[in-house]
Chains A and B, each alone.
Chain A
Amino acid sequence: MNAPASPDRPNDYTAYPDADGRFGDYGGRYVPETLMPLVHELDAAYRAAKADPAFQAELAGYMRHYVGRPSPLYFASRLTEHFGGAKIYLKREELNHTGSHKINNCMGQILLAMRMGKTRIIAETGAGQHGVATATVCARFGLPCVVYMGAVDVERQKPNVFRMNLLGARVEAVTAGSATLKDAMNEALRDWVTNVHDTYYLIGTAAGMHPYPEMVRDFQAVIGQEARQQVLEAEGRLPDAVVACVGGGSNAIGIFHPFLNDDGVRLIGVEAAGEGMETGRHAAAINGGRPGVLHGNMTYLLQDAEGQIEEAHSISAGLDYPGIGPEHSWLHDVGRATYLTATDLESLDAFKLTAELEGILPAIESAHALARIGDIARNVGKGGVVVLNLSGRGDKDVATVANHLGMQI
């Protein structure tokens, strides 16, 4: 079941997943039998919604007037000048309502949940950005919401827990296992299997069982669709590289997907190297893991020699996950995308640099991508263009950053 040694490059990268939810060897529907009929029901409902112009029009309306799309594509002239390489553009997803790209997916899925007649929403969250976005759309449409969050993350992301509570969501602190995002996802799946009759599981990243990786990607692809058009308007050409941080990988696949068939555009994901790849304390599933099955899909995972899942380590709660979306695993194997890493310390430096030079506090997740942007811009060189997905804002991270700088706030 290991990844093929020399996979074929497809003619159309956007033709995946197949009907079984597979991106090459990756993806699938590895869920308990109780959930299988629901997974098929969700797949059928999503396919119908995707093809329904009324659904798409309703979603587009909320994206414009509630989320605040399109988000700007901003030329970061001082970062560009600082690195002395290609022009750096930032796709400003942090300006969306709730402060990250997560709302794009939540808006799509909540409309789908209501279309399916579901009356209760559950979600998992790591940093709390997806939890906040889910709580937000649940408040907007008047649906009860339970968010599962690892107890460790509840502790390090207190402001987001309070935000969710203000929005009317119940936050369940998960103490099982390592008490982080993977355990929150286990607990959400346990809730779903127990409350199948009325509950919709609003997964926050492009991972999990089919059709979630496809569906979340489609809802996030608005990022890349806009960015592609915006960079063409600004520069009259496609970029040389598109860069994004990768945990589960929803912001990355969202910006990558519309560029998949543009052969000249390099797609670069940045995984969290935590305390350093050599320490083993990281969250880089592709760079430090191997294929396996967790949370409904076959994908690259951090695991030991026996197939037990290992804990991820990252300063960023949003990247602190031992897996990655299956489409990224496939794009890595076929060589269409490249996956680099950035450590906690490199990301903190990038966080500070972006604040000082551009007046933007990036989410510590997005700061991982920013940590590699200098190398990439210099590698592409002057006259080139790179686009980075600034997936979230860093207000939620100021306490973490202060802590690492040895300050109390």
Chain B
Amino acid sequence: MAKTYDYLFKLLLIGDSGVGKTCILFRFSEDAFNATFISTIGIDFKIRTIELDGKKIKLQIWDTAGQERFRTITTAYYRGAMGIMLVYDVTNEKSFENIKNWIRNIEEHASADVEKMVLGNKCDVNERRQVSKERGEQLAIEYGIKFMETSAKASINVEEAFFALARDIKRKMEKKMEATNPPKTGSHQLKANEPTKKTSRWFCTVL
């Protein structure tokens, strides 16, 4: 299919079941909220193209099943991911505690330089909140990753979170590309985007 983007980033949503991964994704890709979502079985992905610093970035966001029983399947997708969103539910202490397990899981299966971000979802439901924002922040500091509280329902920070993650990936990638001047290094991160191909096409296809 034709390339309509400068970069293709593969992102992954992980976290306990029911924390709202699918809802976050649905909010980001369709800007809508559906409370009656069914549980995710297997794997699905959604695409949204965003623009960052004049570059078109196609985000291919994979949504996984939350239950750890499915990890053998979902970890297969860790490898290709350039960014991972770790989602917990601020009304569910357990899901927050499990973030550590998820991080360990990433360290085991994902590539070492994958960009990570922690999201505390359902932050609109303050009356049932169990995890304070500070704890989320502390955890994020502990692991040196970014953190945001989001709400897919109230559309809080969802957009911002994905943009932030995409920006980090882009920065990292461009740094890497500068370091290794020939842009093709065989790394999976660079495989996805084809800036060289794009420029050569440019002259043929324009006009």
A binds B: no
What residues of chain B have their CB less than 8 Å away from a CB belonging to chain A? none
